[in-house]
A and B are shown apart, each in its own frame.
Chain A
Amino acid sequence: MQLPSDNRRRWRSRGRHRPQGEIFRQRFLLLKMLIVLLFGVLVLQLVRMQIVEHDAYQERAEFNRLRLIPDLSTRGLIFDRYGEQLVYNVPIFSAAVIPADVPKDQLGTVAAALSSITGVPSQEITEQILAGQAGNNPFTPVVVQQNVDEETAFLLRERLPELPGVQVLVESMRSYPSGTLASVLLGYVGRINADEYASLQNSGYQLNDRLGKTGVELIYESTLRGTTGYRQVEFDVTGREIRTIRSVPPRPGSNLVLSLDLDLQRQVEAILQDAMGDSTNGVAAVMDVNTGEMLAMVSLPSYDNNLLTDPVDEEAYLRLLNNPAKPLVNHAIAEVYPPGSTFKEVTGTAALQEGVATPDTRITSRGYITVPNEYNPGEVYIYRDWAVLGTLDFYGGLAQSSDVYYYYLSGGYFQDGVQVFRGLGAKRLAAYAREYGLGAITGIDLPGEAAGLVPDPTWKQETLHEPWTLGDTYNFGIGQGYLAVTPLQLLRVTAAVANGGDVLVPHVLRGVIDEDGNILRRVEREVAQALSISDRNLAVMREAMRQAAETGTARSGASRFVTIAGKTGTAEFGPQPDEGEDHPTHGWYTGFAPFANPEIAVVVFLQQGKGSRDAGPVASQIFDYYFGRERLAEERLTP
């Protein structure tokens, strides 16, 4: 009887007065579930990390443990054609830090210690390290000071154990014993900049790498550089090397043999230097007419590439950069000038080939010709010759460098509205000029070449929006007006005349050899363009140039030791001067020798000079030296 009510009471009060044991059981169960749940969560996360994402973590652990330490290759050397060494690798010590290996709490200590040893402000060092740590390459050494002396390097080495991350790098510096002499050809090596690194990092370049900045050092960078090696090294957290796991040794760069004749280069530079006078710039270059090899190339003023090779002398660099004579520019290939009368080689051969002239074509120079204005016949322009030269055949026209003769060849002549002589015309002349390689880069293995300009009516209309006039053709024919060439382009024209019509690709590299002297590569003669001018016509030009050097305006370039053929040029430049003043001119001389069997071609350029007076003697001495080296030496020994 009591049982039901008792049951009911229990039922009602269940929520508020449950027996202790039951509450405990429930809450124990809760606790047990909590234990299982918490460990379950941990296991799940561990499964995720150790199974699902294991490979990624494994890779990061390997990355921690192993670093690839680049082993920079030895940069290749450069020799002249006779084996004279033009560059040396000199070891230098640099104080550096690996940012990732400097613990935060020791940054101040490390910076202070480095500062006291090197003298670099510790603030600067701290900033460098912090920047390195924040960057993408915290394991690449940051150079604090380059080229520290041996004593400092020794001091640093002793303290390395207490300075985590600090390193003494042994780097290699380029040293050029020839200095200013061959710098326009050799160029220099500098530290990689941000832009270069961005484009080259996939080719194995390091953040603190060096590379050729200009000249041969730049053009043959990949040959000289070799291949960077690697060591895979196990490191502990403080950057201590534990052991090398494997290594790929670096392959040293190959050595270059240039076509340059350093002895000749030295002589050419001295001769040109002597002849500079008031000229701000001068160029002299010698080319092998049969191969296109450059035997000498001088551009004045020059610079000492030792100052610019890393580590850079900043002050000297700024001085060079601000020098108005632009010593850093290779004027032989990077600057363009009107060629003046030297261009008559082109006009002359073109006229012969086109039948405009024969060797017997006679034209009389009265010292000038007149041309009526095409739109206003009452107005007459006068085109002057440099003298009253009388009647000349083709040989005389070139030997005396008659401008009137070449006005006829290029533009023809009209007398009272009637054409009495038919010229080439601007278009045909331009086509021949381009055939000779003008108006385009020569393709020489040096950086920074300028293309120059070969004008024609279309060009003038498009660029200047003016019609081409007969006067433009006359100016074109004597190498004035809009025509602009580099000294190297002109040299190549002379070489083509000399070698029978091959416009060659000039080059400064002769071959590549390995460290044992085995020949890896030989640079072959390369013809850019074979002239459409017959050898008979070229022979006429050669003879005309021989006469010019023997009896004509190019006499000043003749040599005691060899028969040469040559041509001067005195090119006017700049705006028309005031009445009574001379037009400023550039002096040119170009020629080849020996006449009978040409070997070399020479070009000489003097800014603010005259061809026969200033440039000719330079060419003459170059020929003398090239063909009379031994005899000149004997003469010096026996006074």
Chain B
Amino acid sequence: MNARTMRLRDLDPILMLAALALVTLGALLIHSGTLNRFGPPSVSDFSHPVVRQGVFAAVGLLLALVIARIDYRALGFLTPTLYVVSIASLLFVLVVGEETFGSRRWILVGGTPVQPSEIAKLVVIIALAKYLSDHQESIGTLRVFLTSLALAAVPAALVLVQPDLGSTVIFAVIWLGMVTVAGANWRHLLGLFTTAVIAAPFLFVALRGYQRERISLWLDPESDPLGAGFNILQAKISIGSGGVFGKGLTEGSQTQLDYLRTETTDYVFSILGEELGLVGALLLFGLFMLLLWRGLRVAELSRDLFGRLIAIGIVVFILLQTFINVAVNIGMLPVTGIPLPFVSQGGSSLITFFIGLGIMQSILLRHRRLSFRTFYEP
């Protein structure tokens, strides 16, 4: 603490307010989506989804503030431990996880379902940041390039087995974003890209039956409008019928008559599209852009590469989850169980992203060197 000052005014309130605005928007949508099953929320009813979401958000916010106080560089020392624990939890979920929709993604912790892959993504971000910043000088070498790839590939492979193709893609893209910003060799990236293109057809063959089915359904949801294509089709109908201004919160027929399934988790964006329309979607995108821009500001301001890479990783993480989730809702991508950051109902995801924000704040709080050093800088 003596080598730098920590000033509370360096905290970025905009980052937090954007996130809280997203949570609020999400709570309204969850309220609308659960209205006919749970009725309006009451504060004392902790089984009500809106109340639970509020509690998770409060816990997340509290965690973020606590983490902001901790020096993010301490995470560097904890990285090996965190990494090993999350790999272990991913293995654990494969063995004893709860199965929903044909894949094992959850474990119950004290009656609350926890999705380890969410936290694992954050841990991988930290681990990659640590490794890449420790090997800043030799970032251009193939050894460092491949080692960093392996760090991301192990958890990616474990979630692929669950199977959770969406999370696998997210691990891959987080890694790609981070090594690119860290200054990886273009030729290595190009080589990997070529390998991926050649391997893609083989990967498609290796996909599980249900994954291939999802892809073909995504290409043609009308082939089974009452069965597996139902969600895809109904989500598109919901959003398309919302129009510019939407049908009004709690007024969407698709949402209220239960034509949307898993509407408060994976398909929360469809509620927004139907009830708040294009205007609501632009508001949501605006909040996300604000959040991501402030996240990039953290990366820019960070005093070291470790912090910078963590911030980049989290930005890529949020960007990608948001894009994939919305793209699935509007039928641009095949169905994957990726929640919308801060908006979708679910504790694991919400708390993970708040922890991410906490780390960003921690980076911000420590970005200034001693004031006399600024005196020397032009």
Contacts and interface: CB of A to CB of B under 8 A. Distances in A.
A360 B319 CA distance: 117
A236 B289 contact: no
A42 interface: yes
B213 to A, nearest CB: 13
Interface stretch (B38-46, B273-281, B365-373): B273-281
A1 interface: no
A65 interface: yes
Nearest to B316: A31
B319 A35 contact: yes
A28 B300 contact: yes
Interface residues of A, number: 42
A60 interface: yes
A120 interface: no
Contacts of A45: 327, 330, 332
B308 interface: yes
Contacts of B273: 46, 49-50
Contacts of A32: 293, 296
Interface stretch (A51-59, A206-214, A369-377, A521-529): A51-59
Interface stretch (A19-27, A423-431, A489-497, A610-618): A19-27
B240 A56 contact: yes
B240 A57 contact: yes
Interface of B is mostly: helix
A43 interface: yes
A28 B309 CA distance: 11
A28 B259 CA distance: 41
Interface string B170-199: 000000010011010000000000000000
A28 B296 contact: yes
Given A24-B181, A27-B180, A51-B244, A46 B308 contact: no
A20 B300 CA distance: 12
Nearest to B281: A46
A345 B236 CA distance: 79
B277 A50 contact: yes
Contacts of A65: 253-254, 257
Nearest to A104: B227
A133 interface: yes
A248 interface: no
A39 B300 contact: no
A58 B226 contact: no
B243 to A, nearest CB: 5
A24 B300 contact: yes
B268 interface: no
A60 B241 contact: yes
Given A46-B330, A51-B244, A58-B240, A39 B285 contact: yes
Contacts of B312: 31
Nearest to A65: B253
Given A28-B300, A50-B243, A242 B181 contact: no
A235 interface: yes
Given A31-B312, A236-B258, A61 B238 contact: yes
Contact of B292 (A24, A35, A56, A100): A35
B207 interface: no
A185 B289 CA distance: 80
Interface residues of B, number: 46
Contacts of A36: 289
A47 interface: yes
Contacts of B293: 32, 35
A198 interface: no
B318 to A, nearest CB: 10
Contacts of A56: 240
A35 B278 contact: no
Given A57-B236, A61-B253, A100-B226, A46 B278 contact: yes
Interface string B284-318: 01001100110010011000010010001001100
Contacts of A35: 289, 292-293, 319
B46 to A, nearest CB: 27
Contacts of B323: 38-39, 42
A236 B180 CA distance: 49
Contacts of A27: 180-181, 183
Contact of A31 (B181, B243, B285, B288): B181
B159 interface: no
A38 to B, nearest CB: 5
A61 B330 CA distance: 15
B258 to A, nearest CB: 4
A16 to B, nearest CB: 9
A147 B233 CA distance: 38
A592 to B, nearest CB: 67
B335 to A, nearest CB: 16
A237 interface: yes
B241 A54 contact: yes
Given A23-B183, A28-B296, A65-B257, A57 B237 contact: yes
Interface of A: 20, 23-24, 27-28, 30-32, 34-36, 38-39, 41-43, 45-47, 49-51, 53-54, 56-58, 60-62, 64-65, 100, 104, 133, 138, 234-238, 242
12 contacts: A20-B183, A28-B181, A31-B312, A34-B319, A42-B326, A42-B332, A46-B239, A49-B236, A54-B243, A57-B237, A57-B239, A64-B254
Given A32-B293, A54-B243, 19 more contacts: A28-B296, A30-B180, A31-B181, A35-B292, A35-B293, A41-B332, A42-B327, A43-B285, A46-B239, A50-B239, A50-B277, A57-B241, A61-B240, A61-B253, A62-B253, A65-B254, A236-B257, A237-B259, A242-B257
